[in-house]
Amino acid sequence: MTGRFVFIVSLFFSVYVFAMFQGGKVSWTIFYMLTPFLLYSIALFVYPMNNIKAERIIHTRAIERGGKLSVTVKISRTVPFPLLYAGASEKWEDPEMAIKANNRTKHLFIFGFKKEVEWSYEIEKLPRGEHIVKGIEVEVSDFFGWIQKRAFLELKDTILVYPTTTPMKYVPINAQYDRGSLVSPFSLVKDTTMATGVRDYQSGDRVTWIHWKSFARTQNLMTKEFEDRQSEDLVVVLDNRASETFEEQVELAASIVEEAASHQANIGFISVGAETAVFPFIHSADQLHDVFVHLAKVKQVPAEEVLPLEVSSFTGGAGSVVLVTGNPDWPFIQSVMGFVKNRKSVICFIVVNREEPISDRLYEQIKFAEAKGITVHMLGKMQFSEAFKEVASL
């Protein structure tokens, strides 16, 4: 940049000296024609780029896979210097995002004397994941490109694209009466029409269960106790090993968790990958949101990087387990067995691509798991809504 500035100053004096010594109308005409351009380049060289600010407005915050992101970017400044050729571009952590936007994240404009400009763009068919936009790069130039100045305006935003969910009818897999063989510490369905007593408030209790009269009297939060009609702990286990149907596996797991939570089931969630993520209780909207944030960020990993699931990773003691996988090999399924006393309480959903033939290896894995007493059910994406209906008929 300094070299170009020296060139412009030298050119200015050279033209002036040429006009002085050469004289004549032509030489002075050349000098007067070049002077405005040269002076503008010199002024642009000293123009402070740090007076330029940026603001990003994200119109769509909650986006599911395949959805559309709508953004408006505003560039403002305090010094009204006449900027001519200016350009701004969003800088994403993943360069593929600019390609998906068909380069609409870049914008060329003539600033002029305006103090603010803005433009909008959309990115369609967003993939699930955590997408980070780091900032905005602004570039200005003179008439001939002799002086080009850039400024990176750090403006970080994180866009989470959640997995799509499929509405399904939830059916308890292995509900038992409280005195049955699989008594769980939380009830699947509570009769909330009649309170049988009160107890101290515990983290995760629903606000609607708080006994406000006791609170007004003692200033201590107390929770109503209800009669338990059925009880079952359900744990959804997502296999994050590399698979051709991994995105569909994430969507099925998200659909099950969302549907079971909406029916006030005592549901836990485990995501098995290079590191095991455990969500033992999903009783509130915030806890459900935490699970979906994880499902938005989760990535598949090579099988050799996945550690076997240990029973100690979940201390709840599940009544039933739903395993969502695309690779039902026995060593991995066996690591899930420690959660339950009865193998029939394990349902293995295998997500497959119905448009492709099922491999002989997959059939062998299914037969082996069924021989060990595991209930196995293959699902294509179009069958997600009937997942629990199929389980109920098994």
Query: Domain check: are 143 and 266 in the same one?
Result: no
Query: Domain check: are 274 and 337 in the same one?
Result: yes
Continuous segment of H or E residues that includes residue 392: helix 387-392
What's residue 52's pLDDT?
Answer: 92
Does 43 fall in a domain?
no
Query: Domain check: are 240 and 387 in the same one?
Result: yes
DSSP state of 238: E
In the chain, what percentage of residues exceed pLDDT 90?
27
Query: Domain check: are 117 and 200 in the same one?
Result: no
Number of other CB atoms surrounding residue 195 within 10 Å: 14
Q: Count the domains in the chain.
A: 3
CA distance 391 to 394: 5
What's residue 178's pLDDT?
Answer: 38
Does 69 fall in a domain?
yes
Does 8 fall in a domain?
no
Residues of the chain below pLDDT 50: 175-193, 228-231, 315-316
Does 17 fall in a domain?
no
288-309: per-residue pLDDT in tens? 999 999 999 999 988 877 766 6
Continuous segment of H or E residues that includes residue 41: helix 24-46
Query: Domain check: are 243 and 326 in the same one?
Result: yes
Cβ burial of 9 (10 Å; 0-12, 13-18, 19+) is middle
Query: Domain check: are 254 and 150 in the same one?
Result: no
Does 39 fall in a domain?
no
Could you tell me if 352 and 379 are in contact, meaning their C-beta atoms sit under 8 angstroms apart? yes
Does 331 fall in a domain?
yes
Mean pLDDT of all residues in the chain?
A: 81
Query: Domain check: are 318 and 204 in the same one?
Result: no
What's residue 173's pLDDT?
Answer: 63
Query: Domain check: are 68 and 213 in the same one?
Result: no
Does 342 fall in a domain?
yes
135-180: per-residue pLDDT in tens? 999 999 988 888 889 999 999 999 999 999 998 877 766 544 333 3
Closest CA to 153 of 83, 74, 71: 74
Parent domain of 376: 232-392
Q: What is the CATH number of the domain that holds 278?
A: 3.40.50.410
What's residue 85's pLDDT?
Answer: 84
What's residue 162's pLDDT?
Answer: 94
What's residue 13's pLDDT?
Answer: 85
What's residue 247's pLDDT?
Answer: 94
